[in-house]
Amino acid sequence: MAEPLEGQARPRERAHPGAKEYVGIAVILTLITAVEVAVFYIPAMHPVLVPTLLTLSALKFCLVAMFYMHLKFDARLFSWLFVVPMIIATLVIIALMRLFGH
């Protein structure tokens, strides 16, 4: 069981980013949150409120998952383990909303 054997020996982990990058990401996350709340309060934005908010929060979601949870740096397998269920869950949510007439 010693060596990795899935053909392409994956790097176990690329070096995780350091504190500086982490703070940088936090700044971006803060800005997005601020924009989200602002959008909520700007009447002019209301026609596009839902898509805007969904996009922004998906962006936040991705940033946390990729940088703080290191999916960007870790093995692809971990991403699969997380993203496939995420997709199934999302499809289920959409399907149920359709089935209940939303």
Partner 1 sequence: MAVATATVAAHEAHPTSTGLNSRKMLFWAFLGSECMFFGSLIATYLVYRGRDQVGPHPHEILNIPFTSVSAFVLLMSSLTMVLALAAVQHGNVRGTRIWLAATALLGMTFLAGQCYEFTQFYFEGLALQTNLFGTTFFVLTGFHGTHVTVGVIWLWTLFVMAMQGRLPRERALDVEIAGLYWHFVDVVWIAIFTLVYLIQ
Partner 2 sequence: MATTTAAIHAPVQAESGLWSWITTVDHKRIGILYGTTAFVFFLIGGLEATIMRLQLMRPDNTLVSPDFYNELFTMHGTTMIFLAVMPLSASFFNFLIPLMIGARDVAFPRLNAFSYWIFLFGAIFLNLSFFFGGAPDVGWFGYSNLTSKQFSPGHGVDFWAVGLQILGIASLAAGFNFIVTIVNMRAPGMKLMRMPLFVWMTLVTSFLIILAFPVITVALVFLLFDRFTGTNFYVPAAGADPVLWQHLFWLFGHPEVYILILPAMGIISEVLPTFSRKPLFGYPVVVYSGIFIGFMGWGVWSHHMFAVGLGPLADSFFALTTMLIAIPTGVKIFNWLGTIWGGRIEFKTAMLFALGFIAMFTMGGLSGFMHASPPADLQQTDTYFVVAHIHYVLYGGAIMGIFAGIYYWFPKITGRKLGEGLGQLHFWLNFVALNVTFFPMHFVGLLGMPRRIYTYAPHMGFDWMNLLSTAGVFGIIAAVLVFMWNVSRSLRHGEVAGPDPWGGATLEWAIPSPPPAHNFGTIPTVHSLDPLWHREGPELVKTANRIGGPIHMPPGSHWPMASALGITLLLSGMVFGWWLGIPGVLITLYGIYSWAFEPCT
> Which residue ranges make up the site for partner 1 (CB under 8 A)?
1-6, 9-10, 12, 16, 18-19, 22-23, 25-26, 29-30, 33, 36-37, 39-41, 49-50, 53-54, 56-57, 60-61, 64-65, 67-70, 75, 77-78, 81-82, 84-86, 88-90, 92-93, 96-97, 100, 102
C-alpha–C-alpha distance, residues 56 and 89, integer Å: 19
35 close to 56: Cβ distance less than 8 angstroms: yes
- Phi, psi (rounded to 5 degrees) for 60: -60, -45
Least spacing, CB of residue 59 vs partner 1, in Å: 10
